[in-house]
Amino acid sequence: MHGALSRTLYRSLFRVISKKYVSEKYGAVLCSLLYRSGVDDHLDYDKLSSPSPSVTSSDQSTAAEGHSRLSPEEARDLTKSYSELKEMYIKNQSMEDFDESEYGVQYPTSPQHVILYRRLLREVMAGRHMNFPLQNSQLDTVADGTMGRLNRIIKREFDPTDRTSISKSYSDKERRDSAFIALNALNKKLSWAEDSLRLNDANDAHNTSAAARNVFPLSVYDHSFYLRSGTYLIAHPLLSGCFAKTVICILEHTEPRIDKSHEDTGDNDIQKHEDDENESIGGTYGLIVNKPLKVGVPNPGSQKTRDRMLRETIRQDCLPEGMKSAFAHSPVRNGGPVNLSIQMLSSLTAELESQLGIGKSVLPMNLDERQSNSCGNDLAMIKDTIRNAASNTDTAIYYGGDIFKASQAVIEEEVDEDSFSFLIGASCWEPGQLKSEIDRGYWLPCTGPPEIAFSGKFGEETEIDLWVAMMTALGKDEGRLAQLTKTSHFDDNASPCDEV
């Protein structure tokens, strides 16, 4: 790009990202406000940047009209499983009069300058949809973090002698229009955050008293260290919908397994049945732990709420008498959008559990022992802290227990009803789905005390939101990001940067 306008755009972009206040102190926080919906991730950018000469503009228009795709809302709906999204995508793709092989590429409805902008944004964010500050430090080198990549890409794309420039195959107008979009998106995020961050200078948002104790990040390098029971998932602050600002505890994770020890005998139905029994679908099962169900207090002019009780959550004719007698007034939390049935957690001593036989599985506390980036030389200290925390209690948290045995034990006064907590619904992922969401930046995995899952809070603190407390425990920048976004709604400021 040449000319005064291009030089002005170049200087303006660098003025935004090169402010000392931004780049040195809050660069990681502001970069975490950049958000992609991935609306064009299915496109082959290399082919689109130089369309085949044999395809006319009218051909492209016809192809675009016939080739619909998932809407941005559908693409970021995390309640849908991979198979459901695939079926929706295929259904949207179906058409009778269009042969994709004739063109060899799916043409988008967006203008070329928008495609260029989205392509560069994807490179800036290293292919992820969202970023936590910690993910930048774990997955990127310091020099190649989001701010570093943004700086380098702007220089590259405005340098007419750089042969690696992606935009060189686009017209000058398309490149300028793309730069205008980028400048607008960066300024929007900056103006949204800057005043709030300046206010926090006097009283730093990373308040250690508001941090959940014994909570440490898990490395995202190896999924086998976070896809397991006891891991907590912290939702990115810009994640919307039913998972907005949630803390999820993974209870179970299994990899798909197929027993191939049997030979295929063709039409042998008995053999097929035996093979089916040896197959494991796999997947991940967890619970949202920080979303209590609320009901309004019947008081004119009052907006006060209270916890919803079990007897108010389940129809009276569906609530067994034993459960009604034992747990009618027990509070209930929202565990997730899947399998809307009652989930029970129990807090019992090993001796009492052995006597009553209520619990099924113990919820462990995890630590990635190979983690070095976020723990550094403090890894041994962290492990000692966890051991000390565990030795200070003689109770364990159990899940998947027998709710009828629990009811009977409470009725017979063998155990107090406060030793049990209840949630309705669960959060489930198909094999590969949760790993993909973490890779895209939707969740940050961490370790934490099992008691957090049981109570939905940390320690005796009740006023501080658990999501904010756990974000604050994970690092200074995570704490600042949580303070900045904790009261924000999913408005235009928090919308994806690629929806233009």
Radius of gyration of the chain (CA): 26
CB 106 within 8 A of CB 62: no
Contacts of 353 (CB under 8 A, 6+ apart): 346, 359, 396, 398
Q: What is the mean pLDDT of the chain?
A: 77
d(CA 348, CA 393): 10
User: Rounded CA gap, 453 and 132, in Å?
Assistant: 23
Q: What is the pLDDT of residues 323-348, one digit of tens each?
A: 999 999 999 999 999 877 899 999 99
Determine phi and psi for 140, rounding to 5 degrees.
-120, 155
Q: What percent of the chain has pLDDT over 90?
A: 33
**Which whole-number Å values give the CA distances from 435 to 76, 231, 337, in the listed order?**
15, 13, 19
Q: What angle do CA 450, 454, 460 make, to 5 degrees?
A: 90
pLDDT at res. 27:
78
* Alpha-carbon span 477 to 444, nearest angstrom: 13
- Looking only at the bridges linking them, the beta strands covering 395-399 and 361-362 are antiparallel
Among 255-259, 404-408, 440-444, 488-492, the minimum mean pLDDT is found in 488-492
* In contact, 230 and 363? CB cutoff 8 Å: yes
Helix (H) or strand (E) holding 109: none
Higher-confidence position of 494 and 50: 494
> CB of 244 within 8 A of CB of 235?
yes
State the amino acid at position 295 in one-letter form.
V
Residue pair 165/153 in contact (Cβ under 8 Å)? The answer is no
Beta bridge partners, 445, equal: 233
Q: Give dist(CA 497, CA 500) in Å, integer.
A: 7
- Identify the weakest region by mean pLDDT among 141-145, 176-180, 324-328, 374-378: 374-378
How far is the C-alpha of 169 from the C-alpha of 10, rounded, in Å? 19
Start-to-end C-alpha separation, the chain: 22
Dist CA 138 CA 27 (whole Å): 16
Is the model more confident about 247 or about 93?
247
In whole angstroms, how far apart are CA 470 and each of 18, 308, 465, 488? 30, 24, 9, 18
Does 171 or 7 have the greater pLDDT score?
Answer: 171
Instruction: Count CB-CB contacts under 10 A for residue 210.
Output: 20
- Tell me if 253 sits within 8 A of 227, measured CB to CB: yes
**Nearest-CA neighbor of 115 among 10, 39, 34?**
39
- Classify strands 283-288 and 247-254 as parallel, antiparallel or unpaired: antiparallel
Query: Which tops the pLDDT comparison, 496 or 9?
Result: 496
Closest C-alpha to 422, from 310, 288, 316: 310
Q: How many CB atoms lie within 10 A of CB 266?
A: 7
Span 136-151, average pLDDT: 68
> With 0-12 CB in 10 A as exposed, 13-18 as middle and 19+ as buried, what is 77?
middle
Who contacts 243 (Cβ-Cβ below 8 Å, separation ≥6)?
78, 235, 288, 427
Q: Which one of 79-83, 110-114, 376-380, 487-491 scores highest in mean pLDDT? A: 110-114
